[in-house]
Structure 1
Amino acid sequence: MKDFFLSTNRIGFSLWNEDDYDEAMELWANPNVTKYIVASGKMSEEQVLERLHKEIDVFNKFKVQYWPIYLLETGEAIGCCGLRPYDLENNILELGVHVKERFWGNGLAIEACKAVMEYAFSTLNVSALFAGHNPNNTISSKLLKKLGFQYLRDEFYPPTNLNHPSYLLKKQDYDKNNIAY
């Protein structure tokens, strides 16, 4: 069983490590999960390993990552949700979530994001959170708006070679009790 540093009613947050190869492959080698994350729509085994190592490196340097998330009831890996550096000079981190397709549509993404947002603003004391999504991913657009993010601009995202709608949520605008479900 994994150790969790953060949890909700249904989700536990852990840390990626070198032993998580199978979980990383199940998540990021699935083209239904990655179709909006990379230009080709599918990540190779090498790209998945690079992504896993990148998450570990980001944690070692900045103490954040897109943390692996698990169902507390069963211990099953459901995806990842977390933070990465965006604009460190202005104390802004980027929020992201990737969920395995069999867990889509049951509120786990919004629950995970809300926990990470609370952690970012209350524990890490960030000044704002940035988020973006592939312009073809309407579900992520709806999720960010429900979470209270405000459209900022379209921003070029090299992994997809597309301009992604990008959003910001400032700490003073964050109200954990007023997030639409």
Structure 2
Amino acid sequence: MPSYPTPILTTNRLTLRPLTLDDAADLFAVFSDPAVVRYWSAEPWTSVADAETTIGHALDCYRDQSEVRFGIELAETGVLIGTVGLHHVFPQNRRCEIGYALASQHWGKGYACEALGAALDYGFHELRLNRVEADIDPRNAASGAVLERMGFRKEGYMPERWFVHGEMADTINYGLLKSYWDARPSR
């Protein structure tokens, strides 16, 4: 796994693709929503400059091939509705972390599972990862359900791991092995 090029992936309803500076307004709309960032370790964005900074970081990562970050776009409309990324990559150990966010008006429609499925399949089969990890706030039941639907298993609980939005927050750690991914029933 010497590099992590970010390809364009397609699903039935989504296109996962590299972010561009043209995505700033759509990305700002996602991360300026307090509901979306409720369980993230950052406050809601207050200007498009926040989106531009994040996109700049993604562009740096594309250049140095240090992580894979996708914009999630509705195939039918071309509107960017979120992100999914494989980051904190440890090549020697063939593992990384995954993070994702969707605009709140698109919750409950199966887009998160669809996007994660494409990103995970790419990670396991193209990047040859063996393990993908996620950590979430235990109060974020919807995110936990998405991870479990994708085959992730709860592996640990860490009380008061993060200071988020003025309060200490716990973490549930999840892990997904390639062997779990490959053994899941066809979907």
Equivalence for 2:24: 21
How far apart are 1:108 and its partner, in Å?
Answer: 0.6
Equivalence for 2:181: 174
Answer yes or no: is the 8 Å Cα contact 2:136–2:143 preserved in 1.
yes
Distance in 2 of aligned mates of 1:115 and 1:70: 13
Give SS of 2:36's match.
helix
Match of 2:172 among 155, 160, 165: 165
Distance in 2 of aligned mates of 1:176 and 1:63: 28
Equivalence for 1:73: 76
1:126 equivalent in alignment to 2:129: yes
Q: Which moved more, 1:105-114 or 1:90-99?
A: 90-99
Give SS of 1:55's match.
helix
Distance in 1 of aligned mates of 2:68 and 2:26: 15
Q: Which moved more, 1:94-103 or 1:56-65?
A: 56-65
Equivalence for 1:33: 36
Distance in 2 of aligned mates of 1:16 and 1:177: 30
Answer yes or no: is the 8 Å Cα contact 2:27–2:80 preserved in 1.
no
Identity of aligned residues (%): 25
Equivalence for 1:52: 55
Give SS of 2:96's match.
strand
Answer yes or no: is the 8 Å Cα contact 2:9–2:15 preserved in 1.
yes
How far apart are 1:25 and its partner, in Å?
Answer: 0.8
How far apart are 1:15 and its partner, in Å?
Answer: 0.9
Structure 1, unaligned stretches of length 5 or more?
A: none
Change (3 A) 1:176 1:80: farther
User: C-alpha root-mean-square deviation of aligned residues, in Å?
Assistant: 2.3
Change (3 A) 1:50 1:157: farther
Q: Give me the TM-score of the superposition, normalised by structure 2.
A: 0.82
